[in-house]
Amino acid sequence: MDGTGQAHDRAHNRQLWSLVNERFTDADAAARWSELDISWGLFRIPDADLGLLGDLDGLRVAELGAGTAYFSAWLARAGARPVALDLSAAQLGSARRCQEQTGIHFPLVEADGAVLPLATGAFDLVVSEYGAAPWCDPARWLPEAARILRPGGRLVFLTNSVLAGLCVPADEGFAGEQLLRPQRDLYPITWPEGGTEHHPGHGDWIRLLVDAGFVVDALHELYPPHHAATHEWYDIVTADWARNWPAEDLWVATLPG
Ligand SMILES: C[S@@+](CC[C@H](N)C(=O)[O-])C[C@H]1O[C@@H](n2cnc3c(N)ncnc32)[C@H](O)[C@@H]1O
């Protein structure tokens, strides 16, 4: 995609996320900041159950597409030193308010996840929980993530599963049990009422990660626990659907030391 197309997608996505902030995430932000455990995704799967992040004390972390930055807040509470970046000033405004309310402070930076105003080799860990991963082209954001990591640094990111992308209706509502579009149409896909997202197949993700210099450690296909309920307003998949098919992909990759 050319520069004009990228700028158009960015403007569209920024506008969409201002609206989502106004309707949902701003009201939700304080509650999310107050959660004590680090968890992943629609069904809040505890990181401790997955054994992924480990000891965070003192780690320099960049969160790409942080939204209201609750994930960075959890990391800060666990002793990490996060920097939270997002394209949307509205989302970062909610994060700033939560910082004032909680006293948990870290840098909030308005930036495109594919063009990071951060120093080369300055981070131990890059995370994204539905941030840059679906919303930026991985051919652009993965090389940036690799650039800001130190040798031996880790990238951990969560995004929608390819299967969810194939089964979710274009207009509105939850994923069903039929494939609704070719897999090749998911990278990228512009939703009629939404923004432009990037959902490469698993083979493409591996190629893109390797091209950016990463070694792939794991792909965790997440299933919600039995007690998990359908998310209140991200109407992508129901909890029942996600108990049958993986709705979320959690990738772990390392930059060779
Ligand atoms: C689903 S939220 C992720 C934040 C949080 N983990 C959550 O699930 O609510 C997606 C975020 O990506 C941000 N975003 C969209 N396009 C982006 C881009 N090009 N660069 C950085 N952030 C972007 C949006 O502004 C939004 O805050």
Residue 185 within a domain: no
Residue 190 within a domain: no
Question: Which residues sit opposite 46 in a β-bridge?
Answer: 39
Residue 242 within a domain: no
Q: For position 1, what pLDDT does the model report?
A: 62
Q: Is the CB of 136 under 6 A from ligand 1?
A: yes
Q: How far apart are CA 198 and CA 210, in angstroms?
A: 17
| 208-229 tens-digit pLDDT | 999 999 999 999 999 999 999 9
What burial class does residue 3 get, using C-beta atoms within 10 Å of its C-beta: 0-12 exposed, 13-18 middle, 19+ buried? exposed
| 63-105 tens-digit pLDDT | 999 999 999 999 999 999 999 999 999 999 999 999 999 999 9
Q: What is the DSSP string of the chain?
A: --HHHHHHHHHHHHHHHHHHIIIIIHHHHHHHHH--S-EETTTTEEHHHHT-S---TT-EEEEES-TT-HHHHHHHHTT-EEEEEES-HHHHHHHHHHHHHH-----EEE--TTS--S-TT-EEEEEEESSHHHHS-HHHHHHHHHHHEEEEEEEEEEEE-HHHHHHS-SSSS---SS--S-GGGGSSEE-TTS-EE----HHHHHHHHHHTTPEEEEEEEE---TT----SS--S--HHHHHHS--EEEEEEE---
**Contact status, residue 38 vs residue 63, Cβ threshold 8 Å:** no
CATH number at residue 125: 3.40.50.150
Quick check: 3 pLDDT over 80?
no
For 12, the domain range is: 3-158+202-231+248-254
Residue 8 within a domain: yes
Residue 21 within a domain: yes
Q: Is the CB of 87 under 6 A from ligand 1?
A: yes
- How much is the average pLDDT of 238-255? 98
Residue 236 within a domain: no
| 9-64 tens-digit pLDDT | 899 899 999 999 999 999 999 999 999 999 999 999 999 999 999 999 999 999 99
Ligand 1 atom nearest residue 17's Cα: 25
- How much is the average pLDDT of 138-146? 98
Residue 188 within a domain: no
Q: For position 155, what pLDDT does the model report?
A: 98
Q: How far is the CA of 63 from the centre of ligand 1 (A)?
A: 10
Quick check: 2 pLDDT over 70?
no
Quick check: 115 pLDDT over 70?
yes
Q: Is the CB of 65 under 6 A from ligand 1?
A: yes
Work out how many domains the chain is built from and give that number: 1
In the chain, what percentage of residues exceed pLDDT 70?
Answer: 99
In the chain, what percentage of residues exceed pLDDT 90?
Answer: 91
Helix axes 89-102, 70-77, angle to 10 degrees: 30
* pLDDT band (50, 70, 90) for residue 4: confident
Residue 36 within a domain: yes
Greater confidence (195 vs 202) lies with: 202
Q: Is the CB of 39 under 6 A from ligand 1?
A: no
Q: What is the DSSP string of 29-76?
A: HHHHHH--S-EETTTTEEHHHHT-S---TT-EEEEES-TT-HHHHHHH
Q: For position 102, what pLDDT does the model report?
A: 98
Q: Is the CB of 71 under 6 A from ligand 1?
A: yes
pTM: 0.97
